[in-house]
Amino acid sequence: MSLDKFQIPPRLICELYKDSLVVLDDRQIITDSLKSEDIPFLGGNEKNILILVHDPQSVHLNEPDLQFLTKVLTQCNITLADVSIINTATATSIDFKKITDHFKPNHVIGFGMTSQNHLQFPFLFKNYSVLFNNEISFLFAKDLHSLQDDKAEKKELWICLKKLFSIQ
């Protein structure tokens, strides 16, 4: 078999060279990988639960905080496969609308979020109250590191998590 007449389809070429600089005109195909902005996250997002953390020293989340978060999620019958964890300290070019459009969350839990975060939340919030906005429920709490040693804060978080996930 001769390779003289071998042709690579344009769609495959786009996928092969998606990270290269390419000038696109109207006749070329833009694949999904070129359209979507990669948002770094940890988890599987199987239950569309978005967890926002703010940890400037880690890519996603440091090990002690991840272990604590895993224990909290386990109490809610949730695993890491069910959630998406986004570190807002490392995802600085992404705003809240992009995140919700991409992950389509039913619930958003924010740890260590402040009104000064760059995400541009469409509302004001306070910690430990469940809010609803555009069919999404929101819960905000102190950062995970601070929560680990504060029994009163953990209790407030647990009360809100029970309400958020209808736990008896």
Tens of pLDDT, residue by residue over 143-152, are 999 999 999 9
Helix (H) / strand (E) containing 163? helix 151-164
pLDDT of residue 168: 82
pLDDT at 113: 83
Looking at the chain, which residues constitute the CATH 3.40.470.10 domain(s)? Answer: 42-164
Q: What are 70-129's pLDDT values in tens digits?
A: 999 999 999 999 999 999 888 777 778 888 899 999 999 999 887 656 667 777 788 998
Asked if residues 143 and 53 have their Cβ atoms less than 8 Å apart, the reply is yes
Span 44-60, average pLDDT? 91
| pLDDT over 60 at 23, yes or no | no
Indicate the pLDDT class of residue 2, thresholds 50, 70 and 90: low
148 closest CA partner among 61, 47, 33: 61
pLDDT reported for residue 115 = 62
Please, which residues have CB within 8 angstroms of residue 146's CB and are 6 or more apart in sequence? 112, 153
Confidence (pLDDT) at 83: 96
Determine the Cα–Cα distance for residues 161 and 137; give it in Å rounded to an integer.
11
The pLDDT mean for the chain works out to: 82
Show the tokens assigned to 168.
């008896």
What six digits make up the tokens of 35? 């359209």
**pLDDT score for 154:** 95
pLDDT bin (cut points 50, 70, 90) of residue 33 is: very low
For 42-164, CATH number?
Answer: 3.40.470.10
Stretch 159-167: mean pLDDT, rounded? 93
